[in-house]
A and B are shown apart, each in its own frame.
Chain A
Amino acid sequence: QVLLVQSGADVEKPGASVKLSCKTSGDTFASYFIHWVRQGPGQGLEWLGIIDPNDGTTTYAQKFQGRVTMTGDTSTKTVYMELNSLRSDDTAVYYCARGSGWIGTRVDYWGQGTLVTVSS
């Protein structure tokens, strides 16, 4: 069974940073990619980027370049996503999702999501 278990809800102030975790199971960490996708209140899905946890290679959406960092911890099979300089419009549910197939284009299993609220 493929499981992606994400960290709990978070509240941050504007200008702060948030670091979310996504704990993987089985061979996901070693053999697949991990995407990060967010969804603002009543809004659609927005792609932030992708990481190959096996070697740390990342690709970020242009919109988040310089503000997002994705990393992985081999010892705990956990992937992290840090977003800096938070603004109110970063309030969203953040999902990690497994990417399989050619360079992880097949986004097949999703975590339960983490609600991040940015508010003063």
Chain B
Amino acid sequence: QSALTQPASVSGSPGQSITISCTGTNSDIGSYDFVSWFQQHPGKAPKFIMYEVSYRPSGVSDRFSGSKSGNTASLTISGLQTDDEADYYCSSYSTGDTVVFGGGTKVTVL
């Protein structure tokens, strides 16, 4: 159960779009559409912002979108805002009824 691979950091200017990748294996992302994304501000609990690859929970801005291709899932934030500056984590269901998280990506709004 190795962690999913995310870039350590991604940055963008206000109004721009950024994409965070999350790479797994055929035991998780490649075989299942149970990929979720979480946003975490410093000192806070993670917040659920995407599930089953591309579905947004109620109340989450439509500036967040998700996709998947092969063993890699992606989260795109469009119209970047200062409040989007946070850590982002992906997770996936994995064979054996387990869950695996990514290492996290720090998003900086320049």
Q: Mark A40-77, 1 if CB is under 8 A from B, else 0.
A: 00001111001000000001011100000000000000
The answer to whether residues A107 and B48 also contact, given A45-B101, A61-B98 and a CB cut-off of 8 A, is yes
Q: Are B52 and A106 in contact (CB under 8 A)?
A: yes
State A113–B44 Cα separation when bound (angstroms).
9
Q: Are A106 and B36 in contact (CB under 8 A)?
A: yes
| A side interface size, CB within 8 A | 25
Q: Are B99 and A105 in contact (CB under 8 A)?
A: yes
Secondary structure class of chain B's binding surface, majority of residues = strand
State A50–B38 Cα separation when bound (angstroms).
18
- Provide the residues of chain B in CB contact with A46, threshold 8 Å: 101
Taking the nearest CB of chain A, how far is it from the CB of B31, in angstroms? 13
Q: Are A35 and B99 in contact (CB under 8 A)?
A: yes
State A27–B109 Cα separation when bound (angstroms).
39
Q: Are B57 and A108 in contact (CB under 8 A)?
A: yes
Size category of the B interface is: 20 to 34
State A105–B48 Cα separation when bound (angstroms).
12
- Provide the residues of chain A in CB contact with B52, threshold 8 Å: 101, 105-106
By beta carbon, the residue of chain A nearest B92 is A105
Judged by a CB distance under 8 angstroms, whether B102 is at the interface is: yes
Judged by a CB distance under 8 angstroms, whether B91 is at the interface is: yes
Taking the nearest CB of chain B, how far is it from the CB of A46, in angstroms? 7
Q: Are A44 and B101 in contact (CB under 8 A)?
A: yes
State A50–B102 Cα separation when bound (angstroms).
18
- Provide the residues of chain A in CB contact with B101, threshold 8 Å: 37, 44-47
Judged by a CB distance under 8 angstroms, whether B83 is at the interface is: no
Taking the nearest CB of chain A, how far is it from the CB of B102, in angstroms? 7
Judged by a CB distance under 8 angstroms, whether A112 is at the interface is: yes
